[in-house]
Amino acid sequence: MRIVTNQGSNIHPSLVAEYDLDLANQDISVDGVLHDTRAGITLDQVDIWMQTAPKMPVVLGSSATQLIRLLTDIAKFDREILFITSSRKIIGTYEAAATAIRMLREDRNFADLDIRLIDTGVTDVGAAIPVLLAAEARRSGETLDQIEARVNEFCRAGRMAVYVKNLDGLVRGGRASFLRSWMANVLRVRPILAFEDGELSAAGRVSTKDDEARALAEYLAEKIGTRRVWAGVGHGNDPAFGKRVVDALGQVFQLDYVYAVPISASIYLHTAIGSVGVAIFPTPSGVACPGSLAEG
């Protein structure tokens, strides 16, 4: 069985290698020049683009044609594939994968190909952890049916929130209105955004005088309904803030697994420095924890 995900899932390269995962391509278009995010784009480079590019850089997910090529190559060696994507409502990779799978199923050369497609409903570290769960379940010998059911249940039980200090990137990218940005600056508050039905929506607000890390931890504690969790933290080029968030989570949860990394370049385009994405999932039973990863 092969496990495929899109680059927006923010799987650390060391874990891609450890679990032998397959990554679909994702590009960032800057003034018409495509940059493959699988090649490793630093957040410092994204800052430079945001400061110098005349137009807002654009994130491009995989096309159906590209995914047919990827899945065809994988099918030469394995006829079972689990494809896990970030939310279909924020990037088109899920729909492209659905089209690619449908076209392959119509080809008699792939009549025995068994591909399952899962939408995590979130992004970045929130999508990474379900992928790592699937990889651990595969390692333990679970079947494709078992892993698909496990990951779907895991995603439904999880929650993800995002804190953004500067809304300019969201405004430029069309994901927040100018009025909301203006109000946040005037009133000295910042939003807590949460994924609901695959989309970001305002879930709360934090005064610039308050402890943002603690506020995020308390918000998620109210939503998750359990204390033992797997946690993901993606920081926006601010490792000290990322560590504060992990510490705050540790004060309200029992952290059985922590995945802490810089936020992905594609998400950082919209959230900028000082942002953080936090995902919490109830600790699953019957599967080992991946090794904890904390990288500045």
- pLDDT 10s digits, 180-199: 554 555 567 777 888 988 88
Residues 124-140: what's their mean pLDDT?
A: 97
Q: Are residues 6 and 39 in the same domain?
A: yes
Distance of CA 162 to the CA centre of its chain: 11
80/117 Cα distance (integer angstroms)? 11
pLDDT at 292: 63
Q: Does the structure show a pLDDT above 90 at 102?
A: yes
Q: Does the structure show a pLDDT above 80 at 19?
A: yes
Q: Are residues 275 and 175 in the same domain?
A: yes
Between β-strands 199-207 and 189-196, what pairing exists: parallel, antiparallel or unpaired? antiparallel
Lookup: tokens for 172: 């430029």
Domain that holds residue 51: 2-156
Residues 78-89: what's their mean pLDDT?
A: 95
Last residue in a domain, options 138, 156, 174: 156
**pLDDT tens track for 188-241:** 777 788 898 888 887 777 777 778 899 999 999 999 988 999 999 999 999 999
Minimum mean pLDDT range among 90-94, 128-132, 288-292: 288-292
pLDDT band at 179 (very low <50, low <70, confident <90, very high): very low
Q: Does the structure show a pLDDT above 70 at 175?
A: no
Query: Which CATH number do you get for residue 190?
Result: 3.30.1180.10
| 181 DSSP assignment | H
Q: Are residues 115 and 202 in the same domain?
A: no
- Spell out the alpha helix ranges (H) of the chain: 13-19, 43-52, 64-75, 93-105, 125-139, 144-157, 168-172, 178-187, 212-224, 239-252, 265-271
Q: Are residues 219 and 260 in the same domain?
A: yes
Last residue in a domain, options 125, 156, 187: 156
Q: Are residues 144 and 73 in the same domain?
A: yes
pLDDT at 218: 93
Angle between helices 144-157 and 125-139 (to 10 degrees): 150
Q: Are residues 40 and 101 in the same domain?
A: yes
Last residue in a domain, options 156, 172, 202: 156
Task: Give the residue with greater pLDDT, 292 vs 141.
Answer: 141
Q: Are residues 213 and 287 in the same domain?
A: yes
**CA 101 → CA 85, 87, 104, 130, distances in Å?**
14, 18, 5, 21
pLDDT at 210: 77
Name which of 241, 271, 277 is nearest 259 in CA terms: 277
Using a pLDDT cut of 90, give the percent of the chain over it. 65
Q: How crowded is residue 76: how many other Cβ atoms within 10 Å of its Cβ?
A: 7
**CA 60 → CA 17, 28, 33, 190, 272, distances in Å?**
24, 6, 12, 28, 18
Query: Which CATH number do you get for residue 125?
Result: 3.40.50.10170
Q: How many residues does the chain have?
A: 296
Domain count, the chain: 2
Lookup: tokens for 266: 């594609």
Q: Are residues 152 and 7 in the same domain?
A: yes
Q: Are residues 41 and 97 in the same domain?
A: yes
pLDDT at 157: 96
pLDDT at 159: 96
